[in-house]
Amino acid sequence: MSVFEAILARRSVRAYGPQALERATIQTLLEAVVRAPTAMHEEPWAFAVVQDKQVLEKLSDRAKPIFVEEARRRQAQSGGHSFEIFSRPDFNIFYDAGTLIVICAKPLGPFVSADCWLGAENLMLAACSMGLGTCVIGSALTALNIPEVKTQLGIAAEFSAVAPIIVGVPQGATAATSRREPRILSWM
């Protein structure tokens, strides 16, 4: 699969099979992350990999009410989506994926977050090229940065979670979504 084919094929997958990812597969994905461009060659990232189903379920249960409260505050200001599904006890924000990779960073400079997101895209494209599915789980971010949760996941205090991404074997196909044409503001 070419890079452009991977870009066109990548989807946010929300249904996963029960297969566990092997350590070598995760190492390959992490290698893709660290090959991303970084401002001033900072390479700010570090990783937490969570494959324990019970830990993922507890983290989901902890993150859901936090996210719902944040969403309610934002909605009061701007209107928008309904987040009812997060109130359901059986809803897992990780969509039962077997692996969560959290890209973390120390707040070293102004481009650390951008660096991590560039790495995240590398991870997602590499996973797609390997036949794996991914999805960014932004709804877990606040919970992942709670000191107690960071300790439980082995994330040192000086690091912050930046990009939580689930990875696994997709259960079925994920349909493509339409995209708008590029909006060009200027071309000089």
Can you give the pLDDT at residue 147?
Answer: 98
DSSP 140: G
Can you give the pLDDT at residue 71?
Answer: 83
CA distance 140 to 13: 16
The pTM of the full predicted model, rounded to 2 decimals, is 0.93
Q: Is residue 16 packed enough to be buried (19+ CB in 10 Å), middle (13-18) or exposed (0-12)?
A: buried
Single-letter amino acid, residue 61 = D
- Give the confidence band of 77 by pLDDT, cuts at 50, 70, 90: low
CA distance 144 to 137: 11
% residues pLDDT > 70 (the chain) = 96
In sequence order, which ranges of the chain are alpha helices (DSSP H)?
3-9, 23-34, 53-78, 112-129, 141-144, 147-153
CA distance 136 to 102: 10
**Angle, CA of 116, 120 and 112, to the nearest 5°:** 5
pLDDT in tens, 59-69: 999 999 999 98
- Give the confidence band of 16 by pLDDT, cuts at 50, 70, 90: very high
Give the residue-averaged pLDDT of 150-161: 97
